Structure 1
Amino acid sequence: RLGGNLIISGAFGLFRKEDVLAIHGYRTASVVEDLDLVVRLHRYLLQRGVRYEMPFIPDPVAWTEVPESGKVLARQRERWHRGLLAAMWTYKTMLFNPRYGRVGLIAVPFYTFGEALAPLVEVLGYVITVAGLALGVVNVGFALLFMLVAWGYGMLLSLWAVVLEEASFRRYRRLGDLLRLVAFATLENFGYRQRTVWWRLKAFFTVWRYQHVWGEMTRTGFEAAGGAKARRADAQG
């Protein structure tokens, strides 16, 4: 509703051809081409005073492949964050720039400080908390309560997203699937979140050296995965 969507998935995005051609299409120097394209479209249209919308439509159901190993997932998340850092630096003139309206005053600052710099802030918080506890300058009870509140808030956001989607679309026909999703939304804060923070943190050290490098992103394909499952089922039967 704010009109500040800065990323539309490259696999599922539809754009007006004339606008994309006007900004010369995807920029091959970027490793997050979808985000880069959307930011440039915002900039192009806002500079020309064009009234437009760039909405997210939740109704369609689409499928894409995801990493099937921790190594590939780590490379993907590092690349995403490396691309985000590079994009926010490339389009830094939009940051807090009233010329770009809500995109410049809300969306770009959020992605810069709330997303791009988030790993640094989180790691710094861990370091300060541990150091404070070790030096005795932080109350143990308060520190534990603060961590519980922070983790609880994160879990609440994830759970609320699940509840909203289920209430709106009811896509999970089996109760077991819904309960599994709720469990993952709860447990992701213990271990998995810290791993993603580490992967994203690495992007700060690789952004200038490997700015244009994708890295190997192994894909097995839907048919291959389905065939493997079918073969396993036949063998067990």
Structure 2
Amino acid sequence: MTLANIFTTLLIIFTSFVAVYLIGIILFYLILFIISAVQLRKEHNIDQFEQYEEIVDSSFSPPVSILVPAFNEETGIVPSVRSLLSINYPGFEVVVINDGSKDGTLQTVIDSFSMVKVEKTIRKMVSSKDIKHVYQSTLYENLYLVDKVNGGKADALNAGINVAHYPYFCSLDGDSIIERDAFAKVMKPIIDSKQEVIAVGGSVRIANGCDIERGEVMKVALSKSPLVVMQVIEYLRAFLMGRIGLSRHNLLLIISGAFGVFHRESVVQVNGYRTNTVGEDMDLVVRLHRFAKEENSGKRIVYVPDPVCWTEAPESLRILRRQRSRWHRGLFESLWYNKKMLLNPRYGLVGMISMPYFFIVEFLGPVIELIGYILMILAPFISGFYTSFAFMLFLLAVIYGSLLSMSAVLLEEWSLRRYPKVMDLVRLYFYSLSEAFWFRPMTVLWRVEGIIQLLKGNRGWGEMSRKGVSK
């Protein structure tokens, strides 16, 4: 056999492997789609607020500490806090944690809400950098501001856990806008389960393009930026397809750092957020699963599709690239720190399904996809390598990237219907069909770049500048 024949044979083997891999992923997501569709249909009318009136009106609903870590969030922090202070829930406090901001975040909050220093004994239940001062608003007695030494988002959340007064806490990004009824809905599984549920994730949607005034979404609309529209589609696929399906069988490993509620004592038992990773939100959820399995406590972590938090998405390729590379590094760190769970029957379906899925599909997936793209490009130029193989890969890539995204848009229209304009839905359909041709390959490259950064030892967050989404 000649060297050329050997090379061609190896290419066919690699192509076959990539094809089988993509078919496996498509089938897996098809199963998730069916599970999610059935679940959404069951809860089709659950967003009618009458079902949550008892929670809102009851003095027995567990109070929540809303933790808002803020680093250089001067442009969006005030409207975000305003939106939190107006939520429809009986007992809550808002704790803004200024993590050594270099802009005017601290003074902006102090001036906007008439904050004054208070003497407060802080019980250090989890490790964090030193707290300089604690402030309380003279306008809102349930609003606090913590000024601390810079230590990163995870460290800021740990400081907030130490300062918080209530048994449950919610982690929110500093630029987030929360819907008024979101807490009643996200707390319902906790109340109904009698503390069996120790963490709940809510939906995160993209605020770019929406009409937002004084911390409230007045009108939902799509951004004019194609880059932002593609991120909207990504979020729909991740939340409506991925997380609903995984949550149904207690397989959820990610609760977005932008909006999640946790049982504080359980988080303290796993020593709070890990500060040496850029994926602190996923790492915490994995460790909570690990603790629940080791204690055989039967505790669960769930996702609720309707409670919505609106957040700002990157509008530039440079910032989006940094975000996706960082997310991929965080994914690996979460898997690596908890590698004893991988394929370990002791950890049930989490160890046998969730961990392998996130390692093989989510972490290694971009490398395999990149190989597939390279094979598609080289196929016409390689003698003896059938272009039908390349065409097969192309079709599978379109199904994986575009048609699955289109399915997520269908779920959105079929169930929650957040976008009232017909033209917005048309744009979502059009862009979802185009994903495999430009956006997917681009994010694959960025995620592979994240792996390269891991090998180089890059652990930083990178700059994440924001314009602010509220007026």
Given the two structures, how large is their TM-score scaled by the length of structure 1?
Answer: 0.89
Is the contact between residue 120 and residue 201 of structure 1 (CA under 8 Å) also seen in structure 2?
A: yes
Pick which of 60-69 and 96-105 moved more. Answer: 60-69
Alignment partners' CA distance in 1, 2:375 and 2:393: 13
Alpha-carbon distance change, 96 to 80 in structure 1, aligned in 2, over 3 angstroms: same
Corresponding position of 1:88: 335
Shift of residue 129 of structure 1? Answer: 4.0
Shift of residue 149 of structure 1? Answer: 3.6
Alpha-carbon distance change, 137 to 89 in structure 1, aligned in 2, over 3 angstroms: farther
What are the within-5 Å matches in structure 2 for residues 24-173 of structure 1?
Answer: 24-173=271-420
Is the contact between residue 397 and residue 436 of structure 2 (CA under 8 Å) also seen in structure 1?
A: no
Which structure features the higher share of strand residues?
2
1:158-213 per-residue CA deviation (whole Å, 9 max, x = no partner) reads 11111112111122211011111111211121111111111111111111444531
Alignment partners' CA distance in 2, 1:153 and 1:127: 17
The share of aligned pairs that are identical, in percent, is 45
Corresponding position of 1:234: none
Is the contact between residue 344 and residue 351 of structure 2 (CA under 8 Å) also seen in structure 1?
A: yes
Number of aligned residue pairs? 224
Alignment partners' CA distance in 2, 1:131 and 1:170: 42
1:8-58 per-residue CA deviation (whole Å, 9 max, x = no partner) reads 011210011110111111111110111111011111111110112211100
Counterpart pick for 1:175 among 417, 422, 433: 422
Alpha-carbon distance change, 177 to 131 in structure 1, aligned in 2, over 3 angstroms: closer
Alignment partners' CA distance in 2, 1:131 and 1:103: 39
Is the contact between residue 278 and residue 461 of structure 2 (CA under 8 Å) also seen in structure 1?
A: yes
Alignment partners' CA distance in 2, 1:198 and 1:112: 17
Alignment partners' CA distance in 2, 1:17 and 1:205: 36
Gaps of 5+ in 2: 1-247
Paired amino acid for 1:10: G
Shift of residue 134 of structure 1? Answer: 2.5
Given the two structures, how large is their TM-score scaled by the length of structure 2?
Answer: 0.46
Counterpart pick for 1:214 among 440, 453, 461: 461
Is the contact between residue 370 and residue 441 of structure 2 (CA under 8 Å) also seen in structure 1?
A: no
What's the Cα RMSD here? Answer: 1.6
Is the contact between residue 366 and residue 448 of structure 2 (CA under 8 Å) also seen in structure 1?
A: yes
Is the contact between residue 86 and residue 207 of structure 1 (CA under 8 Å) also seen in structure 2?
A: no
Higher Rg of the two aligned structures: 2
Alpha-carbon distance change, 87 to 211 in structure 1, aligned in 2, over 3 angstroms: farther
- Structure with the bigger RCO (C-alpha within 8 Å, sep 6+) is 1
The 3-state SS of whatever aligns with 1:31 is coil
Alignment partners' CA distance in 2, 1:149 and 1:2: 28
Paired amino acid for 2:350: V
Alignment partners' CA distance in 1, 2:458 and 2:291: 24
Alignment partners' CA distance in 1, 2:379 and 2:417: 46
Which structure features the higher share of helix residues?
1
Alignment partners' CA distance in 1, 2:389 and 2:276: 47
Pick which of 30-39 and 118-127 moved more. Answer: 118-127
